[in-house]
Structure 1
Amino acid sequence: MTRRKAAVVVIIGLTLAGALIGGLWSVLAPPAHGVIALTRSGQRVQTYLGSESDHLFVSAAMLIGLLTSMAIVAAVLVWQWRAHRGPLMATALWVGLVAATGAAAAVGAALVHWHYGAVPFDTAPVTRESRVFYYSEAPPVFFARGPWQVATTLLFPAAVAALTYALMAVATPRDDLGASPPLERTPLGATP
């Protein structure tokens, strides 16, 4: 297999693994339970029950944790593919992990939205007779919706994998990164 094909295999494999992690996350991530109430003046208010708002942070952190674990394992597995070690495989690793994170976020968000739906603030059935409506809010995949927070979430697992791969490369005493079969080195001044 050529190095380019190996890089494509890594990118596709990581993207599929990311989609699976998104599905796993959608099952594990805790929803936030809240209440919509009608005040005496007729105004709707929304709040979370107890410390349920913490789940909004925990869910996003759980996705990052799952993806970071996958990034470290992926870097070690890609490093084990000795014949293809090098810059192209390192690039395939981080590109694949950005794609995996995007796939995990997309699949996870779609599944939890399908399961929990949107927060029914405007349509909650609160009346003067029934002033309280309880709901479960879908867990978020990102800490916030700003572009910097989303970009950080997408790049963090890739950065961890790149660092892991780089540390293994630095720890290798051979210039060919331990590729098999070993390359023969000619001494300086000698003709091959």
Structure 2
Amino acid sequence: MSQVTEDTVARPEPVEPPRVSHRRAALIVVASLAGAGVLVGALWAWLAPPIGVVVGLTRGGERVRGYVGNEADHLFLAAFLVPGFLTVVAVIAAVLVWRWRAHRGPLMAGALAVGSMVAAGLAAGVGAGLARLRYGVVDVASAPVSPEHRVHYAVEAGSVFFGHSPLQIAATIVFPAGIAALVYALCTLATPRDDLGAWPPAEPIVLRYPYAPATDQVQVTDPVPTEADVPPVDPSSPSR
């Protein structure tokens, strides 16, 4: 029996060679995310709500500090804006990097993660610096309080972190990198090709399978009866 083969995988679409190298493309991604982090920090300093602070002088001559009304809630809101803005940047950056088809691969995924962490650090630093220039620092020791004026109101900027411990700071910086890596991984899983459509294209694995040709149809007819198949006739039986 002859064996017939058939291709089950189509040829990949042609991919144009990139104009820049993979290493330079990775540096472009990191630099672009760094610039986005600076813009996020400036946006945070403009939108983050300030916090009303009151400095009072007790009867014992001790200076105390507190927040006006529910202004303490702005501490959480201001800190939450930083990872919120960085999450949006991470998702958009992951989609745009994936659209750069010729450079898809582990190098770009690493550049995306590193760039997201750089963006988070710059956003926190720029935001905190601009907010300090805008609102200043509340100095409890030099607050103008006296026995005649025991209360002093001031305004301070919100915090870019939920706390000042190293773990809280590291979580804020690493968080957008995890979001960007997750989005990039989902795009990778949705691609049927092993080379992700990047450059240089890899030859696909062609699956071949044998199949048997159709057999000839045989026409089946009724067999011709022989003398052995015909029963004997009894002469005594009446004829019809």
Q: What TM-score do you get using the length of structure 1 for normalisation?
A: 0.94
Task: Confirm or deny: 8 A CA contact 2:105 2:198 kept in the other structure.
Answer: no
Corresponding position of 1:36: 55
Name the CA distance, whole Å, in 2 between partners of 1:63 and 1:28: 11
Q: Would you identify which runs of 4 or more consecutive aligned residues in structure 1 move more than 6 Å?
A: none
Corresponding position of 1:99: 118
Matched, 1:90 2:137: no
Matched, 1:123 2:125: no
1:184 shift after superposition: 3.5
Aligned length: 189
Name the CA distance, whole Å, in 1 between partners of 2:152 and 2:163: 26
Q: Secondary structure at the match of 1:57?
A: helix
Name the CA distance, whole Å, in 2 between partners of 1:186 and 1:19: 45
Structure 2 unmatched runs, 5+: 1-19, 209-240
Task: Confirm or deny: 8 A CA contact 2:91 2:183 kept in the other structure.
Answer: yes
Corresponding position of 1:19: 38
Matched, 1:147 2:166: yes
Name the CA distance, whole Å, in 2 between partners of 1:181 and 1:84: 9
Deviations, residues 16-54 of structure 1 (Å, cap 9, x unaligned): 110011001000001110100111222111110111011
> What is the correspondence of 1:68-87 to structure 2 with a 5 Å cutoff?
68-87=87-106
Matched, 1:176 2:195: yes
Name the CA distance, whole Å, in 2 between partners of 1:140 and 1:176: 44
Q: 2:178 aligns with which of 159, 169, 175?
A: 159
1:186 shift after superposition: 4.8
Structure 1 unmatched runs, 5+: none
Name the CA distance, whole Å, in 2 between partners of 1:112 and 1:134: 18
Name the CA distance, whole Å, in 1 between partners of 2:152 and 2:205: 78
Q: Secondary structure at the match of 2:175?
A: helix
Corresponding position of 1:50: 69
Corresponding position of 2:84: 65
Name the CA distance, whole Å, in 2 between partners of 1:18 and 1:171: 29
Name the CA distance, whole Å, in 1 between partners of 2:197 and 2:44: 36
Name the CA distance, whole Å, in 2 between partners of 1:181 and 1:172: 16
1:137 shift after superposition: 1.3
Q: Secondary structure at the match of 2:145?
A: coil
Q: Secondary structure at the match of 2:155?
A: strand
Name the CA distance, whole Å, in 1 between partners of 2:29 and 2:180: 13
What is the alpha-carbon root mean square deviation over aligned residues?
A: 1.5
Name the CA distance, whole Å, in 2 between partners of 1:186 and 1:118: 64
1:118 shift after superposition: 1.5
The code of the aligned residue for 1:140 comes to: S
Task: Confirm or deny: 8 A CA contact 2:114 2:177 kept in the other structure.
Answer: yes
The code of the aligned residue for 1:133 comes to: H
Corresponding position of 1:114: 133
